[in-house]
Amino acid sequence: MSEISKAYEPQSVEDKWYRFWLDRKCFVADPARVSPRRPAYSIVIPPPNVTGVLTMGHVLNNTIQDILARKARMDGKEVLWLPGTDHAGIATQTVVEKALKKAGEIKHRDDWGREKFLERVWQWKEKHGGIIIQQLKKLGASCDWTRERFTMDEAYSRCVQKAFVELYKKGLIYRGKRMVNWCPATQTALSDEEVVMKEQKGSLYYFKVEVVDCSGAVSAPPSGNAAVTDRRYNEIKSTGVWLTIATTRPETIPGDTAVAVNPKDPRYAKFIGKHVVRPLPAELPRELKLIPIIGDEHVDFEFGTGVLKVTPAHDQADFEIGQRHKLPQIDIMHPNGHMNAAAGIGLNGLDRFKARKIAVELLTEMGALEKEEPYTNNVGFSERADVPIEPRLSEQWFLKYPSVEQARNCVEQEDDSAGRASPRAGSSAAEDGSRERSTHQQMRFHPQRWAKVYDHWMGNIQDWCISRQLWWGHRIPVWYPKSGSGACQSRDGSPADLHPRLHDIWCNINPPPDPENWEQDPDVLDTWFSSWLWPFATMGWPEQTPALKAFYPTSDLVTGPDIIFFWVARMIMAGYEFMGDPKFGLPDAKPFQNVYFTGIIRDKQGRKMSKSLGNSPDPLDLIGRHGADALRFGTMRSAPLGQDILFDEQNVELGRNFCNKLWNACRFRQMVGRADFPIQGEIDPKLLTADDKWILLKLDAAIREMNTAFAEYKFSDATATLYRFFWSEYCDWYVEASKAALSGGRRCESAQTEIQSGLMSAATEDEARKANTLAVIDFVLSHTLRLFHPFLPFITEELWHGMGYAEDMPDDQGGQTIMTAPWPKPLDDDFKSHYGLTGDDEKQIETRNELVSQGRNLRRNANIAANKKVNFILKPAREVTRHDVEVLKLLLNAESVEVKADYQPSKSTMTVRTESGDLFLPREGLIDVEAEKMRLKKELQKIDTDIARVEQKLANPNFVQKVPAEVLQEHQQRLAAWQAKRGHVTSALAALES
């Protein structure tokens, strides 16, 4: 760093160092290096969608992971940060299909068929799959790229198949015809987690049906769509009674197979057992539309009219009523959400929403519609396709979740143990910056409130629909015999056997030996059925590989709370299920020690960032303009634990300014010279000034605060500490004060011998002090750079080398790269006593700084221009040295600071009194007496308020009796100080008035 530029230019250093780290294999984890003295630390990345691009959410998430990984390396751990991407079934397939449609290549993926379409998805993946990885590298992510995984890698696919087969053999995976969440847009089943409820404004339609008596009904066993028409009645008698039914979905009337009332409802109980005539399809004769009135407790008498239409094939609750009463199911819809022939002539072929309108028209025409009221209800939407889902009977694969109890109990709840659950601020674990890694410790969520959400979900867990009617994904490893007798049922066939016992199927990770006689299940698995294996499938499971042995369970997981059920909960269950095998020798097979949930990044208006709103900044653009370190620092500073983040580019500008400040502080150090003489970088305790001691103590405090922040995962606290320490304490005070010592000496050459021979003159003392100051600066900067490194990896590496700090370190301890430099330890008692660091020094500087601030304030009030040098007079409260005076001159921008122990101020002298002494600013003839009086009166007023408040407290006998001694003492001291100040201000005021 011979020629250092005036401003930090990130573009010129970032790529250079990233390549350096890659070339030196700094990110590569070696399981063989793990030992009791070099513990493992591991994180698996939440794999981004393979075709995605970097968003601010990724920046937040991955910056935190990188900070944790880099900190762990500096703590001397063997670190694995395992990266990779997710195939993201629906998302990717949809994107590719859309692109192909847009390009006019296809109208629908069926045009090409499965094989050709998949070929194109793979091509797309090859083309776009690397983008987000490259972007992560720009951010500085220190992932072990040699272990990059993709959820559809061959080895990974084998893991997915193995997991399926094992669970199938245990009887936890079954196939069944069930009511599922069906997405008519993508035409696949979805899990409950992929459905989001949205409030919809619609109508509640009231229509009437006639109650009839049908004597001599011959009940035939229900059989699918023909159920109703299979019934034959001898006679149908009108009763002249009509029931009114309220519904939001009149288009499903043709699928109704009963009308339900509450058996306890006095209005309707008497009708149970009679029938009504279903109004639709209009063209069917009455006798083919008779449906029974049944009694079911599910019906709420308060809602609507208290009469419920029951559509077992198109509503979850109705399906269950249908089960209880053995009602037939009439499927009236195609998989694409259009009505089928069973819906009747009027509706057949219409889209379900169009059909709703037409159904209302038909009811109106026949005089059945009584009224329509506006109504708002919650409707389930497909999260991906953003269309209302359709509850639909279909045959799917389901998973009864494994290891639920273990998974539920392994997460520490807030009331588990008050002691352990609370943050361990200042504890010994926090001080050395390491978290315990006992395998018997419960998993901990940060912030912990998510544990409750997790527990609630785990306690109400439903079987997971894992099959998807997509092409892009892992094929279900199940084959059916082609000539299939009982085992091979049509997918939308009937009857609805809810728990078919499937015999004669081939479920294996390998295809059957005689493939010509079998056909594979056409479906693929839910993407999350592969990602739930991520923490161990990426490390070589099912083999007990060195990586698994060394790095599983992982240390920390960093992810968004939006996927706590999708991913986190399932990974925990999978961990227990698949890593609990005794061959892995784990006392506790949980996948993580800690889970950190980030907030969600929003824009300044609090809206979630999204492509459609166009409110999501491009992180790469921000990196290009401000630098990766600036983006990281700004993001971290505005991201408190567990709170959503309102993103504003100003945060990044703050980060950029901060990097520039760091850069220039180092540049300043470079410009004032080398520390060779007389102490060669070693700090001489005898030559330390109070300012030196003060900054060392501040450094110590900063290190401790950083360790506490890390122990509590409070990254915004950590950045705030760094910001305050470096800018407000080091630059604003220490560097400014150090200029007094640095501008002092000149003749370095002869000073060393003179010091040794005890003949040190004032001049050579200046020289020695200058060198010592440089040594202190180097000490502070070399520690500071290390504290910054996890947050600002690029600029710290550049400065680490540029400043020459690398040269002083052993090769594997920072000599090659700051990445392996040891994380700073708090200054211990030996250090402090060797260098004579005491609270008195700290106090001395703090009161001195108070004096300086007030002196500057005096200047300001006297309307003295900031660049005008003036003469101050100091009446010190204790002994002052020549050096102290030099510092004061500098900090006050004074021409001189005259020390006069017996100074008597005249009328036109402005004064301040502090614990360090009294400071006078004589302004013969220049002072604005009235203005100064105003200022003093205002100050007096404030002092009086403060005094009154404390006096009131002290006058309270309860206060004096009950309060702890030190608090009482502190109040008394405060009162005394204010009273002294009051006396001073009063006399100053009196002097002006005399």
Partner RNA sequence: GCGCGGUUAGCUCAGUGGUAGAGCACUACAUUGACACUGUAGGGGUCAGAGGUUCGAACCCUCUAUCGCGCACCA
Q: Which of residues 718-737 bind RNA (CB under 7 A)?
A: 720, 723-724, 727-728, 731-732, 735-736
Nearest distance from C-beta of residue 349 to RNA, angstroms: 23
Binders of RNA among residues 731 to 770 (CB under 7 A) are: 731-732, 735-736, 739
Q: Is 463 in the site for RNA (CB under 7 A)?
A: no
Residue 498 touching RNA (CB under 7 A): no
Between CA 898 and CA 871 the distance in angstroms is: 8
x-marked contacts with RNA along 311-350 as a string, rule CB under 7 A: ----xxx---------------------------------
Environment class of 428 (CB within 10 Å of its CB; exposed 0-12, middle 13-18, buried 19+): exposed
Nearer to RNA, 222 or 599 (CB): 599
Residue selected from 120, 249, 354, 889 as contacting RNA according to rule CB under 7 A = 249
Closer Cβ to RNA, 715 or 800, answer by number: 715
- The CA-atom distances, in angstroms, between 427 and each of 424, 618, 831 are 5, 40, 20
Show the binding pattern over residues 634-673: x = contacts RNA (CB under 7 A), - = does not: ----x-x--xxxx-x-x---x-xx-xxx--xx-xx--xx-
- On whether the CB atoms of residues 820 and 814 are closer than 8 A, the answer is yes
Select from 134-142, 770-778, 818-826, 951-959 the region that touches RNA (CB under 7 A).
951-959
Q: In the range 849-868, which residues lie near RNA by CB under 7 A?
A: 852-853, 856-857, 860, 865-867
What is the footprint of RNA within residues 8-27 (CB under 7 A)?
Answer: 8
Distance CA 215, CA 227 (A): 18
Least separation in angstroms between residue 937's CB and RNA is 13
Q: Which stretch binds RNA (CB under 7 A): 279-287, 294-302, 395-403, 777-785?
A: 294-302
244 scored as a contact of RNA (CB under 7 A):
no
The answer to the question of residue 308 lying near RNA (CB under 7 A) is yes
Backbone Cα Rg of the chain: 38
Interface mask (CB under 7 A) for RNA, residues 783-812, using x and -?
Answer: ------------------------------
Q: Closest approach of Cβ 561 to RNA, in Å?
A: 7
Q: Is 474 in the site for RNA (CB under 7 A)?
A: no
Smallest distance from the beta carbon of 52 to RNA, in angstroms? 20
**DSSP secondary structure letter of residue 731:** I
- Least distance (Å) from RNA to the CB of residue 453? 6
Q: How far apart are CA 508 and CA 504, in angstroms?
A: 12
- The CB-based long-range contact list for 756-765 (8 Å cut-off, 24+ gap) reads 762/882
Record the tokens describing residue 499, joined without a space: 């728990």
Asked whether the beta carbons of 584 and 540 are under 8 A apart, the reply is no
Which is nearer to RNA, 275 or 309 (by Cβ)?
A: 309
863 to each of 141, 494, 856, how far by Cα in Å? 52, 93, 11
Calpha distance 119→104 (Å, rounded): 17
What track of x and - describes contact with RNA for positions 595 through 634 (by CB under 7 A)? ---------x-x----------------------------
Task: Based on the shown chain and the rule CB under 7 A, indicate whether residue 959 belongs to the binding site for RNA.
Answer: yes
Nearest residue to 179 via CA among 395, 451, 414 = 395
The H or E element containing residue 375 is strand 369-382
Between 204 and 236, CB nearer to RNA: 204
Interface with RNA in residues 360-419 (CB under 7 A): 377-378
460 interacts with RNA by CB under 7 A = yes
Give the C-alpha separation, 336 to 186, whole Å. 8
**For the purposes of burial, counting CB atoms within 10 Å of the CB of 701, is it exposed (0-12), middle (13-18) or buried (19 or more)?**
middle
Asked if residues 472 and 89 have their Cβ atoms less than 8 Å apart, the reply is yes
Alpha-carbon distances, residue 808 vs 502, 779, 790, 795, 811 (angstroms): 71, 11, 21, 19, 9
Site for RNA in 414-453 (CB under 7 A): 449, 452-453
Q: Does the footprint of RNA cover residue 970 (CB under 7 A)?
A: yes
Contact pick of 242, 303, 353, 831 for RNA (by CB under 7 A):
303
| CB closer to RNA, 302 vs 930 | 302
In terms of Cβ atoms closer than 10 Å to its own Cβ (0-12, 13-18, 19+), residue 770 is buried
Is the CB of 149 or the CB of 859 nearer to RNA?
Answer: 859
Count of chain residues binding RNA (CB under 7 A): 88
Sequence-ordered list of residues with C-beta below 8 angstroms from that of 755, at least 6 positions apart, any chain: 678, 764, 768
Binders of RNA among residues 684 to 723 (CB under 7 A) are 716-717, 720, 723
> How far is residue 391's CA from residue 178's CA, in Å, rounded to a whole number?
10
Q: Dihedral angle at the C-alpha atoms of 658, 660, 666, 668, nearest 10 degrees?
A: -120
Nearer CB in complex with RNA: 587/964 = 964
By CB under 7 A, the residues from 54 to 93 that bind RNA are none
Residue number with CB closer to RNA (9 or 618): 9
C-alpha to C-alpha distance for 603 and 648, rounded to whole angstroms: 7
Assess 247 for contact with RNA (CB under 7 A). Answer: yes
Looking only at residues 144 through 203 of this chain, which bind RNA when binding is defined by CB under 7 A? 192-193, 196-197
Per CB under 7 A, 306 contacts RNA: yes
| Interaction pattern, residues 910-949, with RNA; x per rule: CB under 7 A | ------------------------------------x---
Smallest separation (angstroms) from RNA to the CB of 420:
14
Residue found under tokens 């008519």: 184
Give the Cα separation of 942 and 21 in Å (integer): 58
DSSP letter string, 320-331: HHHHHHT-----
Nearest approach in angstroms of CB 593 to RNA is: 21
